[in-house]
Amino acid sequence: MSEKQKTRRNGVTIMGNLILLLGSLSFVMVLAVLNGTAGFLCAMGVTLSGAAGIAKALGENISFSYGALMVLAIGCGILRGILRYLEQYSNHYIAFRLLAVLRDKIFRALRVLCPAKLETKQKGSIIAMITSDIETLEVFYAHTISPVCIAVLVSVCTAVFVGMVSSWWLSLTAVIGYVTVGILVPFCVSIRLKASGVRYRTEFASFNAYFLDSIKGIKDIVLHNGGEKRKEEVNRRSNELLTETKKMKHDISGASAATELLVSVFILAALAVGIVLVICHDLTMGRMILGVAAVFSSFGPVIAISALPGNLTQTFASGDRVLDLLREEPAVRPVENGIMLDTLDNLNVSHLSFSYDGETEVLSDICIRAKKGEIVGIVGASGCGKSTLLKLLLRFWKKNSGMILYNGTEIEEIDTGSLSEHVTMVSQTTYLFDESIEENLRIARPDATQEEIETACRQAAVHDLIMRLPDGYQTQAGALGDNLSAGEKQRIGLARAFLRGSELILLDEPTSNIDSINEGIILQALKQQKKERGIILVSHRESTMAVADCVYRMEGGRMIEQNR
Ligand SMILES: Nc1ncnc2c1ncn2[C@@H]1O[C@H](COP(=O)(O)OP(=O)(O)O)[C@@H](O)[C@H]1O
Ligand SMILES: [Mg+2]
């Protein structure tokens, strides 16, 4: 599924799927809900004990003594505290356990999707997913599911209690109040907040992007005297963001004011209904006080629900993104227990065709051969499919038709571990981690000896350069900043490939971004190393092909010429 064709799930589906992720933790969730409900009922018990005392004083037949009512009130108060603690404990236990499980699932999904499916994803959005999206889901698990269940249970219990002890008319008034405050208000508010929330997030993202862009390009801004103009634009965007923030806060506070107002209205309505019933002699004063006190004290859980919608829109968006990632099918699955290659002497590609989307063919009927001891060049304009061909040779994607044979064995049958041991790639730019040069090289082979590392660096003509660095092989790559040129980094990339010892090295435009001196050094190094291995060198530049023993020419996904 690509970013574009993502299906938007509706809120109910997302909630359902997120709850399904609970798995065996769902019994803790039930515990949280039961504790929460019992806790709130205990809180109501404090008020109701008082109300029962007043009713008794008014002559109502209450089977508890005043002393017993007092003990009941105190007992309910203490129990309320304990139950509330247990509720919060269970909720957060679930939330944090689940976040660990979810993160684990996301990392596993990313590992499987890598590298093909991650190419098209923005790195920022992946980071956002494992940080802020997961945090948002914490809100869902710890502060959304159980409040909703608790509100329903408390409302039902109160309605039944009021109906039995006092009057079903009072109970009906309360139910209308619960539905209005707990369902209608959140529904209307979520519609309003959705629009302002989306606008706020759009402004926020655009401001962030502009600001980050400005910092990244600060050198060019200063060079071209563009500071004032940038500052004005930053201020303008900041003001727009502020306006949207105000609008959103305005909507949120409007919603909570409306909730408070409606709660007061329904409490007054309950009181009015009670008084009318007493006047009509349908209800005694004592029972009216009991009923109205129960209704008064029962709105807490539904008020909590009406505060949710602001969070829920974001929760759904986060949930949707996480579910998307967990559902996404990888481009290829690793071949486990496949054929292990002993050595790799030759590669034979015949009639290979491929398309990314199943419609437009990016490669058609490609045939190439490569063997140990020679440099095979592939040249063609940008976008003709050279990089795609190399990715297929590494099995990052699944070919549509044709054959890729390593030593006569079809690529689909070769063990993925064995394939990556025998075939490696150097791409257009080499990424250096913020570690020492030695550690940067060791990625290719963690158990390499110092001697092997130095040999590989000599082969890539980068040893002397490293020795001139302040701490030699121990120099931190990050501390060098821009002091290593792109060409020098590429030579370290090449040393990595040599150190890995693979028998086939694929080079994807290794010299396109670098100066001609470094290009010369790299091409010379390749020429000297070709005896040991096969090399496929891809470039859009004709001049790079000078070192190749044979050259294939590509155009629009086809081989148009072969020069052996
Ligand atoms: N991950 C991808 N998904 C969809 N289309 C892609 C992807 N990568 C490359 N393409 C498309 O495939 C074609 C060949 O790209 P590529 O192999 O990178 O060409 P080259 O390396 O020769 O410049 C281009 O039209 C490019 O837009
Ligand atoms: Mg390319």
* Minimal-distance CA residue to ligand 1 atom 2: 356
The domain limits of the chain are 1-144+310-331, 346-563
Task: For ligand 1, say whether the CB of 318 is within 6 Å of any of its atoms.
Answer: no
* Minimal-distance CA residue to ligand 1 atom 27: 383
Cis ω for the linkage preceding 334 (within 30 of 0): no
The topology under which CATH files domain 346-563 is: Rossmann fold (3.40.50)
Number of helices (H), then strands (E), belonging to the chain: the values are 21, 10
Helices (H), 58-119: 66-113
- Which pTM value belongs to this model? 0.72
Query: What residues does the ion ligand 2 have nearby, CB within 5 Å?
Result: 387
pLDDT at 1 over 50: no
CA distance 6 to 317: 12
pLDDT tens digit sequence for 16-31: 888 888 888 888 889 9
pLDDT tens digit sequence for 344-390: 999 999 999 999 988 999 999 999 999 999 999 999 999 999 999 99
Task: For ligand 1, say whether the CB of 555 is within 6 Å of any of its atoms.
Answer: no
In the chain, the N- to C-terminal Cα span, in Å, equals 41
Task: For ligand 1, say whether the CB of 383 is within 6 Å of any of its atoms.
Answer: yes
Q: In what order do the strands lie in the sheet with 534-539?
A: 423-426, 504-508, 534-539, 375-379, 550-555, 558-563
CA distance 285 to 298: 20
Token look-up 């940080």 returns 131
Ligand nearest to the CA of 2: 1
CA distance 119 to 121: 6
Ligand nearest to the CA of 429: 2
Cis ω for the linkage preceding 301 (within 30 of 0): no
Percent of the chain's residues with pLDDT above 70: 98
Asked if 162 contacts 295 with a C-beta cutoff of 8 angstroms, the reply is yes
d(CA 118, ligand 1 centre) in Å: 14
Tell me the pairing of strands 423-426 and 409-410.
unpaired
pLDDT at position 464: 94
CA distance 472 to 256: 64
pLDDT tens digit sequence for 505-551: 999 999 888 888 989 999 999 999 898 899 999 999 998 999 999 99
Q: 212, 52, 199, 203: which is closest to 123 by C-alpha?
A: 212
Task: For ligand 1, say whether the CB of 362 is within 6 Å of any of its atoms.
Answer: yes
Asked if 511 contacts 544 with a C-beta cutoff of 8 angstroms, the reply is yes
CA distance 482 to 466: 15
pLDDT at position 492: 94
d(CA 388, ligand 1 centre) in Å: 6
Asked if 134 contacts 100 with a C-beta cutoff of 8 angstroms, the reply is no
Asked if 493 contacts 510 with a C-beta cutoff of 8 angstroms, the reply is yes
Ligand nearest to the CA of 381: 1
pLDDT at position 439: 95
Token look-up 């963690």 returns 446
pLDDT at position 564: 67
Task: For ligand 1, say whether the CB of 386 is within 6 Å of any of its atoms.
Answer: yes
Going 327 to 328 to 331 to 333, the CA torsion angle's sign is negative
